[in-house]
Amino acid sequence: MKDKDFLIKLAKITLPITFQAFMLALVAAADAFMLGSIDQDSMSAVSLATQIQFIQNMILSATVGATVILGAQYWGKRDLESLDDIFCLALRICGVLSIVYCIGCTLFPRYLMLLYTDNEDLIVIGVRYLKIAGFSYLLTGISQCYLAMMKVSEHVKTVAFVSATAVVTNIILNAIFIYGLHLEERGAALATLVARVIEFGCVIVLSYQKGYIHPKLSGLSRFNKVLTLDFIRCMWPLLGACLLWGIGFTSYSSFMGHIGKDAAAANSVTAVIRDLVCCAGDGLANGCGIMVGYELGAGNLERGKLYGQKMVGISFVVGFISTGIMFLFTPIVFMTVKLTDTARHYLLLMMIAMAIYMIGRVVNSVLINGIFAAGGDTLFDMYSLVVTMWFMAVPLAFLGTYVFHWPVIVVYACTCLDEVGKIPWVLHHFYRYKWVKDLTRERR
């Protein structure tokens, strides 16, 4: 395939997925900036409260990730019966998880907030948010399964449309509830709940349209032993990696929350900007994984390998562009959010550190979550996280926070070490080509 044709095909898949990721990140940004324009504590508390869903999202990501990896290969093979088995298995897992999180957030919100801060003002605000937003977590997992199946079956524009509809609804309701009705954190939670209900309704209705895949009721109770084992083999390293990364990442927020309210506020704003800018890299990783997965599942191993090689260079370009965008965002953020002078100082230094971090984040995301995962090579992510995050970044940040009491920016820089430090290791693993594998099986 010529470079031009490759880029066109990549853009058709990647751009709608990137748009979807951006729209989802925009919800968090709207919450942060609207609450931040009123009160620093409300912004910080809601940011900490949403870290609880962040862990849920990590587990959902493992399930949905396995769905996309196997689904893309079986779609490339055009085995629709196996796709239905994969879909139903994912729905069962995500459904149980969503119920557990809904119960935890609505019945035990105070205990969950205590994991992230000991400041009573922030805890009270976070509890009010979780008691409402917790019900939205009941729908999130199911919706993500439907959206994942739409991605692998080449309906990425529909995915973008559904996400855009939910996000626009969320932002409009945010403005009405926060500014108009003065509901503050309760308004942000209620807007999130309504948006999730709309998203859920959209995916259910759309899945029954011609050309879309919807789960068969018989499939929800059917057990395909071989495919289930393949799914688990694909999912458990993803789950391990997601939990390692998710718990590590939320521990960073916990460190900042225990340092003080100013550090927590600055970190909250930086996290929102990071998530917005990361959308390009995450969308690229998803698009790349689907493209490579199609080819590997169809038996075109050399073409899949070639696609991966082209993506390495593209990932570095997008990484450097993301760094530039971080610098461009900085003055805009300072004009938008109300922070104390101390928090503003922390924010400036954190934005600089995050700009450098973005290069590693994008490259690693594309190679590990896109290329390696497409061929079922999901163990590497878990190994690399154990070494770079849990043996380096987390211990250093922990010691800096609780033992040595380092300056805030030094602790924050420690939390950025993992992505930048593992780039050489990731590239070395890529060129060993162990990820070039066809994961599909013939049905009996």
Reference 361, options 301, 296, 426, 307; nearest CA is 426
Segment 397-411 mean pLDDT: 92
Better-predicted residue by pLDDT, 36 or 127: 127
Q: In Å, what is the CA distance from 20 to each residue of 13, 59, 63, 164, 231?
A: 11, 19, 19, 7, 25
* 375 pLDDT tier (thresholds 50, 70, 90): confident
Residue 360 forms part of a structural domain: yes
Segment 367-378 mean pLDDT: 88
> Which one-letter amino acid corresponds to residue 294?
Y
**Helix (H), strand (E) at residue 142:** helix 137-152
Looking at mean pLDDT, say which of 114-118, 296-300, 329-333, 345-349 comes out highest. Answer: 345-349
Segment 182-201 mean pLDDT: 90
CA atoms within 13 A on the CB side of 439: 35
* 193 pLDDT tier (thresholds 50, 70, 90): very high
% of the chain exceeding 90 in pLDDT: 27
Segment 1-14 mean pLDDT: 80
Q: In Å, what is the CA distance from 320 to each residue of 130, 356, 368, 379?
A: 37, 9, 18, 27
Checking if the pLDDT of 315 tops 90, the result is yes
Instruction: Determine the Cα–Cα distance for residues 422 and 176; give it in Å rounded to an integer.
Output: 44
Q: What is the DSSP letter of 431?
A: T
CA atoms within 13 A on the CB side of 4: 0
Residue 442 forms part of a structural domain: no
**pLDDT tens, residue by residue, 248-273:** 887 888 888 888 888 888 888 888 88
Checking if the pLDDT of 444 tops 70, the result is no
Checking if the pLDDT of 164 tops 90, the result is no
Q: What is the pLDDT of residue 192?
A: 87
* Three-class SS of 381-405: HHHHHHHHHHHHHHHHHHHHHHCCC
> Which one-letter amino acid corresponds to residue 65?
G
* 412 pLDDT tier (thresholds 50, 70, 90): very high
**What domain range includes position 82?**
3-430
The three-class DSSP label of residue 137 is: helix
Instruction: Determine the Cα–Cα distance for residues 186 and 173; give it in Å rounded to an integer.
Output: 12
Residue 410 forms part of a structural domain: yes
Checking if the pLDDT of 199 tops 60, the result is yes
Q: What is the pLDDT of residue 157?
A: 86
Residue 444 forms part of a structural domain: no
Q: How many CB atoms within 10 Å of residue 45? A: 31
* 374 pLDDT tier (thresholds 50, 70, 90): confident
Contact indicator for 123, 110 with CB cutoff of 8 Å: yes
Q: Return the structure tokens found at 9.
A: 């095909």
Q: What is the pLDDT of residue 1?
A: 57
Checking if the pLDDT of 438 tops 80, the result is no
The three-class DSSP label of residue 130 is: helix
**pLDDT tens, residue by residue, 68-113:** 888 888 888 888 888 888 888 889 888 888 899 899 989 998 988 8
What is the pTM (predicted TM-score) of this model?
Answer: 0.76
Residue 436 forms part of a structural domain: no
Q: Return the structure tokens found at 295.
A: 């080819």
Residue 242 forms part of a structural domain: yes
Burial class (CB in 10 A: 0-12, 13-18, 19+), 442: exposed
Q: What is the pLDDT of residue 2?
A: 66
**pLDDT tens, residue by residue, 204-222:** 999 888 888 888 776 677 7
Checking if the pLDDT of 316 tops 90, the result is yes
**pLDDT tens, residue by residue, 55-70:** 777 788 888 888 888 8
Residue 237 forms part of a structural domain: yes
Q: What is the pLDDT of residue 284?
A: 92
Residue 441 forms part of a structural domain: no
Helix-helix angle 40-77:120-133, to 10 degrees: 40
Checking if the pLDDT of 393 tops 80, the result is yes
Helices (H), 298-340: 301-336
Overall domain count for the chain: 1
Contact indicator for 36, 43 with CB cutoff of 8 Å: yes
Q: In Å, what is the CA distance from 109 to each residue of 75, 240, 247?
A: 41, 25, 18
Report the residue count for the chain: 444
Instruction: Determine the Cα–Cα distance for residues 238 and 52; give it in Å rounded to an integer.
Output: 19
Q: Is the CA virtual torsion 428, 430, 431, 436 positive or negative? A: positive
